[in-house]
Amino acid sequence: MSEVPEIDQTSLPDDAVVVDVREQNEWDAGHAPNAVHVPLGDLPGSLDRLPDTDAAPVAVVCRTGGRSSRAVAWLVQQGFDVVNLTGGMKGWESAGRPLVAEGGAAPRIL
């Protein structure tokens, strides 16, 4: 398999739209404010939910980078301009990036 394109935490603006491929419970606990939630298993049937990648690549994220790396490899084959966010949401949290949670709970990364 070829190298998966990546972007590091510091290169991504706080208001960037990212595609989060984690499961529902992970998403509910904490995610990036402008993220679009498309669980990895739902990705093939949810391409219409992905942000427009014509203007710039869109970052894809999971907990630590494994699932999002697989998603990026597949999406690139489908013609999408996407990059894997290195370190995943754990890296996002460690870098002090903004987090939101569903239901008013304090955001955290599962």
| CATH topology (fold) of 6-100 | Oxidized Rhodanese; domain 1 (3.40.250)
Of 18-22, 73-77, 104-108, the least confident = 104-108
Domain ranges of the chain: 6-100
How confident is the model over 43-73, as pLDDT tens digits? 999 999 999 888 888 999 999 999 999 999 9
Q: Which two tokens stand for residue 100?
A: 């939101």
pLDDT at 1: 47
Q: Which of 62, 71, 85, 99 is catalytic?
A: 62
Residue 110 is among the residues annotated as catalytic for this protein: no
Work out the percent of the chain whose per-residue pLDDT is above 90.
77
pLDDT at 2: 59
Task: Determine the Cα–Cα distance for residues 61 and 35; give it in Å rounded to an integer.
Answer: 9
